[in-house]
Amino acid sequence: MLGAPSAQAEGRGDIRIVKTVVDNGTNVIVGVSKPVTFPIRMTIKDNSGIKRVDRVSTFGTNNRGGPVEWIDTSCVKKSKTTSDCTATMLVDPRHFPYFSDTDPNGAAGQWQVNATVVANDKDYWISDRIALYRFKRAATLTTNATPEPVKKGKKLTVKGKLARASWKDLKYHGFGGQSVTLQFRKAGATTYKSVKTVKTSSSGSLSTTVTASASGAWRWHFAGTGTTMKVTSAGDSVRID
């Protein structure tokens, strides 16, 4: 058995995967219809040089998987001992409903990467958990501020809806009980400022009132969870009369 700080492995010789980065260090976000490809980049070292990547797989750390397919690997030799190899992974959400008898939404969360690599001198390394990342459900968020325009000092109602992808029926459903931040950008300003936090209803709806003090744009911002992406709505501009 060969050991590494973030992985368990078995093999022979000095070959090692010394660095792994999934999707350029971001979360993998999957919706309900569009296939998603993402890279897994590995830096591999051996004193004889790297011959090939034999296998790459990824699945949830809770042993829940999804329809993620390893479709290709390309390697670039950086030196006599080191190569950078990129595995391309494909996930088609349309396959989720048929992947398992259990609720496929349970696959969202923390995922791991496993890989097997081979050196020119036939050294090999079969590694588990060489990288951890988040595999998340896509989300949508809307904003609608009324009335437009509004008189200064009058009440403005800002509504919206937070929804997230369901891999069970391939539709978006309201995401209830979530804290969402209302933000405002004054006309002429370049940044939004947080105004208040509101919780979504059971159907994912948002509604609050504010006092209209200046023209500008209103939007909702959701910070995300361990299983659902963060999302910010488009701004809705309101003019003060």
Residues 35, 122 within the same domain? yes
> What are the structure tokens assigned to 140, written together?
């949508």
Residues 133, 143 within the same domain? no
Residues 97, 9 within the same domain? yes
Name the nearest CA neighbour of 16 among 24, 6, 4: 4
Residues 123, 25 within the same domain? yes
Output the pLDDT for position 240: 95
pLDDT digits (tens, 9 = 90+) for 44-101: 999 999 999 999 999 999 988 899 999 999 999 999 999 999 999 999 999 999 988 8
Residues 21, 122 within the same domain? yes
Residues 60, 178 within the same domain? no
Residue 4 has pLDDT above 50, yes or no: no
CATH number (domain holding residue 39): 2.60.40.10
Residue 19 has pLDDT above 90, yes or no: yes
Residues 105, 206 within the same domain? no
CB 2 within 8 A of CB 125: yes
pTM higher than the cut 0.85 = yes
| Domain closes at, from 102, 137, 172 | 137
| Domain closes at, from 83, 112, 137 | 137
| Domain closes at, from 120, 137, 154 | 137
Residue 25 has pLDDT above 90, yes or no: yes
Average pLDDT estimate for 104-114: 96
DSSP letters, 171-223, are EEEE--S-EEEEEEEETT-SS-EEEEEEE--TTSEEEEEEE--S-EEEEEEE-
Output the pLDDT for position 8: 61
Q: List b or e across 22-61, with b for residues whose CB sees 16 or more CB atoms inside 10 angstroms.
A: bbeeebbbbbbeeebebbbbbbbbbeebbbebeebbbbbe
pLDDT digits (tens, 9 = 90+) for 181-216: 999 999 999 999 999 999 999 999 999 999 999 999
SS (H, E, C) 43-98: EEECCCCEEEEEEEEEEECCCCCCCEEEEEEEEEECCCCEEEEEEEEEECHHHHHH
> How many domains does one find in the chain?
2
Residues 133, 81 within the same domain? yes
pLDDT digits (tens, 9 = 90+) for 123-178: 999 999 999 999 999 999 999 999 999 999 999 999 999 999 999 999 999 999 99
Domain span including residue 151 = 139-238
Sign, CA torsion 78/26/101/67: negative
Residues 130, 229 within the same domain? no
CATH number (domain holding residue 151): 2.60.40.730
Average pLDDT estimate for 8-29: 93
Radius of gyration of the chain (CA): 23
Output the pLDDT for position 2: 35
Residues 151, 69 within the same domain? no
DSSP class of residue 107?
G
Residues 133, 146 within the same domain? no
pLDDT digits (tens, 9 = 90+) for 208-229: 999 999 999 999 999 999 999 9
Residues 39, 60 within the same domain? yes
d(CA 176, CA 163) in angstroms, rounded, equals 8
